[in-house]
Structure 1
Amino acid sequence: MANLNTTVTKTHRYDAIVIGSGISGGWAAKELCEKGLKTLVLEKGRLVNHIDDYPTMNHDHWDFTHRGNLSHQDQKEYYVQVRSGFVGESTKHFFTKDIDDPYEEIRPFDWIRGNQTGGRSLIWGRHCYRWSDLDFTANAREGIAIDWPIRYKDLEPWYTYVEKFVGISGEKLGLAHLPDGYFLPPMELNCMENHVKQAVMKKFSNRPVTIGRVAHLTDPQPWHQELGRAQCQNRNRCSRGCPYGAYFSSNAATLPAANRTGNFTIRPNSVVHSIIFDEKAGKATGVRVVDRETKEMTEFYAKLIFCCASSMASTQILLNSRSRRFPNGLGNDSGELGHNIMDHHYHVGAVGTYDGFEDQYYKGRRPGGLFIPRYVNLDASTRNPNFLRGYDYQGAGAGRDNWGAGVNQPGVGASFKDSLFKPGGWSMGLMGFGEVLPDHNNKVTLSPNKKDQWGLPTLVFDADFGANERAMRKQMMADAADMLEASGLSNIKTFDHSGGMGVGVHEMGTARMGRDPKTSVLNGNNQVWGCSNLFVTDGACMTSSSCVNPSITYMALTARAVDFATRSLNRHEL
């Protein structure tokens, strides 16, 4: 596959500029380029080309100096990233060194970052679930925060559009609150998971157990193959970069699609300082960039600007884009910019063991787990009086102990080694994913006195889970134990390790969409109020958080916003 074009024009002028190359930025680039706009993508981090720059993609466990663990020096340099549990020796090059790009915490916040071409699309969890009007109407229905300016019908065709290109494997369930989509064949549950599925459905008829809907190609279609993408090999080495392009990433899919149009340019090592606002025209005219390596400032200009740097990074840019018209940050007439941080809370559930199925095993390392959709607070009959909204279970699943169990077993000699070739017993876990309510007091601001090495004010986080989330977690843990017990598991142990906000890696809400510029930053088309040619389509735009993963919604919102922007541009309305 051809490398991405990095040669910028001498005039520094483009039809469109996209800030960020992750999930939202990649989609903005693809859509803008395919609609004929000369597009510049500004990426804060280094250039990463698909396959060429995945150094650990084929390494085995024994190929690593520390067997996958971080060295003491690495732990010092990635002192926030390690709190997530995601980063290790095989993936550290795709995570940001916190020592190079620090921030402040009034209340703990785990800001998990990946500054490189593709951003966190190289390391995301890949679960993709449509939202429904249960989600889009929740705030209005309950009098929480503000109402979404859109409904499911506005996004439904865009969900289908992006799902078809991405490639989502999954099972249709016919649930109104979890709409079915355009799916490739689902991955398979193993024998233990199928047993649990039957047992749970027998006792809890409204709790279907299914395989997760994930962005993995199980049956590549011609449009996937045209980009060099192939079928998932069940290696479960996804976060190292997939050489098959089997899981969706900007590097494997949207950026190559943009690149082949001839309209695409990406400029890595471009730290966006601020967006240039023309007060007379009432529009954004360009972007100020600090070169990550030389520290030199450069300006680039365009008719359209899409800010897709990730929720907190986009907010940092907007807050730092001050003018006489917007003294508190671009688009911040409402005072809501930086407020209403949301995430998902998880690391709560139960695990247990099972005596049986000793004659059965499974093949490969399936890169995804089971999923149990939300079943609480759907209607009056499922109402829980202790909390609002709901939760699901995802990611975990069933498996058998393997040779790794020998690490904690006493033994020596041939008999001990032979025993490691015999699989151990079955165990299974259920881990909940819960919704976080928007709260104005959960916020991020610019430091008044600290700047990073590129001259930008660093971010200060002040956010935490609230009483609603804590009450929900008690039920999430209890329900997990009940389902495992109903399935005949024993030695059931519950767990609840909430940590700080941010560890869900679904931070969102800091430049929310709304119906009124007095209470929101963006309108229903993801336009910044008061700056019609500036769009924000990453997690910052979200008005509530649902309990399912948001990435496919970011993609749908981005494709929809680009369609609106380009049609408006063609009508000379921008």
Structure 2
Amino acid sequence: MLQVSVAKEPFDAVVVGSGATGGWAAKRLTEAGWRVALLEAGPKITPKDFTEHVQPWQLTYLGQSPVIRRERPIQSLCYACRESNYQWFVNDLENPYTQEKPFHWIRQRVLGGRSLSWGRQAYRMSELDFKAASHDGYGDDWPISYDEMVPYYEIVENYVGISGQSEGLPQLPDSVFLPPMEMTCGETILRDKVREKMGRVVTIGRVAIVTKTHNGRAACHYCGPCEQGCATFSYFSSPWTTIADAQRTGRLTLICDAVAARIPTKDGKATGVAYIDRVTREPNEVRARVVVLCASTLESTRLLLNSNICNQNDALGHYVMDHIYQGGASGTMPALEARPWAGPPQRPNGIYIPRFRNVKEKETNGFIRGYGYQGGGSPTFDMGASGFGAAYKDAVRQGTWNIGITAWCECLARKENYVEIDPERVDAWGIPILKIHAEYLDNEKKLWQDAREQGAEMLEAAGAKDVRLNGVHSVPGFCIHEIGTARMGNDPRTSVVNRFNQAHEVPNIFVTDGACWVSSGCQNPTLTMMAITVRACDYMTIKYATKQAA
């Protein structure tokens, strides 16, 4: 275990989880003068552990170690889990969970959590998302509005650095942007033809990677495998940004290898967090006046369920959501076959097609809500070409241009999609595990099917040939956008936390990660999670200005 000195007096706050939201909580609270303990279930890492420049042929198993498949059968399904970084992902044998129906729970236990390997796509939610129930009558509105969130989006964006292009769309509000990355020829053809023939927008992806020096981080140099770490810190990850800032205040105590087990309470208030040393298996406890849960959606809810708190109304654990995706199409661009590749070969970004379904007040297409596409166009290299020297290099570049788009579709919040504690199973540290009950139903499947058909139409409008529909949709969890289970709301009878992420039942507990979400939208959620965390922390520092959490 990382050796730290734990103060005898209670901390002002203990933050559970060191990922995107936990890093922001640590930064915001320490910079406000709070003494904070940050718990991370996994080990500490440094840039020396990065492998972004290690090529597959330099590895023993060329990137696919049998150890990964044996110890991490679920984690190995993730595109980012490789021989070069698999230690960042949980060992599924040590961290089991019960699947009532297929659910792929991708987890990383390491300093920085999934901020080490996230896809970095960063999109704001809109008023259409926060007030979706008012728009179409299904479910519940968020107890906050887009206008309330704007200042917090701006705080996060100005700090993180979001590369992108303004488009002026109400359903996908613009961020504070760094210069956008360039599109390829195939992507610009798609953009122009889709706009001309269908009136839809195709834009470059909005991504948390800096394209010029920003807050001491160097511009991306397009080396490619971001999920293996970034020595220049060009993409946003909490250890080298928010957590580093918190450490510089001198008020952060970082405790790694600390597996949170439960939240002790006394007189209706949390007294801290009990945890187990990941290495020695010894029990420990951190005392604090405020507990901030940023452990990731299902881990935060698991901690509350195992503590038997915040569940008087039976809302805790319910309404789990994850975007359904892999609905789209792909094809070739014959108009570009004679054009050699001349762009950056490892651009860590793609294109984005914002939601266009059910945006207008009265619009309906046999389903509610919508989806947005991500994708890209680039050539394949003709590795079978013959020749030698410059002529051979030219021949290799004359490959087929491919283009494809895949939709991320909204998942409706349903109470029957839920998690609970499995009374018969525990993990390697003796902590009861989750049993997950979640599936996609008709609305998600209709969105997915429509996304396939519309994707094909857009590619054909751009002149693509050999257009093929994507075949199978994802299972819940596989999108790695799990949200819900400790939802935000004004009514304590139907929600777990209030509009400032404060637990109704235990008021000195705050849940600021994806667990607090009311509806999923179709955008990647991390930017909004970080903005929500900043807002909640600012509320804490005002409410508990005297540092006496009462």
Is TM more than 0.5 here?
Answer: yes
Deviation at 1:196, TM superposition (A): 1.0
Match in the other structure for 1:384: 364
Match in the other structure for 1:369: 350
Match in the other structure for 1:325: none
d(CA) in 1 for partners of 2:184 and 2:390? 30
Q: Is the 1:103–1:459 contact (alpha carbons within 8 Å) kept by the matching residues of 2?
A: yes
d(CA) in 1 for partners of 2:250 and 2:411? 42
Match in the other structure for 2:318: 339
Matches within 5 A, 1:170-569: 170-205=164-199, 207-221=200-214, 224-225=215-216, 229-278=217-266, 280=267, 282-322=268-308, 330-357=309-336, 358-361=338-341, 362-380=343-361, 383-394=363-374, 396-402=375-381, 405-406=383-384, 421-569=396-544
Q: Is the 2:18–2:38 contact (alpha carbons within 8 Å) kept by the matching residues of 1?
A: yes
Matches within 5 A, 1:139-150: 139-150=133-144
Residues 12 and 106 from structure 1, CA distance in 2 versus in 1: closer, same or farther, beyond 3 angstroms?
A: farther
d(CA) in 2 for partners of 1:77 and 1:160? 41
Match in the other structure for 1:327: none
Secondary structure of the 1:219 match is coil
Q: Is the 1:236–1:366 contact (alpha carbons within 8 Å) kept by the matching residues of 2?
A: yes
Match in the other structure for 1:95: 89
d(CA) in 1 for partners of 2:463 and 2:174? 31
d(CA) in 2 for partners of 1:448 and 1:33? 38
Deviation at 1:138, TM superposition (A): 0.7
TM-score w.r.t. the length of structure 2 is: 0.96
Q: Is the 2:132–2:140 contact (alpha carbons within 8 Å) kept by the matching residues of 1?
A: no
Secondary structure of the 1:41 match is strand
Deviation at 1:147, TM superposition (A): 2.6
Q: Is the 1:168–1:214 contact (alpha carbons within 8 Å) kept by the matching residues of 2?
A: yes
Aligned residue pairs: how many?
A: 547
Secondary structure of the 1:531 match is coil
Residue by residue, what CA displacement relative to the aligned partner does 1:176-227 show, whole Å, maximum 9, x if unpaired?
A: 111111110111101111111111101111x111000000101223xx11xx
CA-atom RMSD in angstroms: 2.0
Deviation at 1:412, TM superposition (A): 11
The residue identity in structure 2 corresponding to 1:354 is M
Return 35-44 or 11-20, whichever deviates more. 11-20
The residue identity in structure 1 corresponding to 2:315 is E
Q: Is the 2:17–2:38 contact (alpha carbons within 8 Å) kept by the matching residues of 1?
A: yes
Q: Is the 2:128–2:135 contact (alpha carbons within 8 Å) kept by the matching residues of 1?
A: no
Deviation at 1:87, TM superposition (A): 1.7
Secondary structure of the 1:82 match is helix
d(CA) in 2 for partners of 1:77 and 1:506? 23
Secondary structure of the 1:548 match is coil
Structure 1: 5+ residue stretches without partners: 323-329
Q: Percent identity?
A: 40
Residues 170 and 314 from structure 1, CA distance in 2 versus in 1: closer, same or farther, beyond 3 angstroms?
A: same
Secondary structure of the 2:422 match is strand
The residue identity in structure 2 corresponding to 1:565 is M
Deviation at 1:415, TM superposition (A): 12
d(CA) in 1 for partners of 2:466 and 2:432? 51
The residue identity in structure 1 corresponding to 2:57 is W
Q: Is the 2:162–2:208 contact (alpha carbons within 8 Å) kept by the matching residues of 1?
A: yes
d(CA) in 2 for partners of 1:364 and 1:121? 24
Residues 477 and 13 from structure 1, CA distance in 2 versus in 1: closer, same or farther, beyond 3 angstroms?
A: same
Q: Is the 1:84–1:110 contact (alpha carbons within 8 Å) kept by the matching residues of 2?
A: no
Structure 2: 5+ residue stretches without partners: none
| 1:59 maps onto 2:54 in alignment | yes
Secondary structure of the 2:245 match is helix
Match in the other structure for 2:29: 32
Q: Is the 2:124–2:173 contact (alpha carbons within 8 Å) kept by the matching residues of 1?
A: yes
TM-score w.r.t. the length of structure 1 is: 0.92
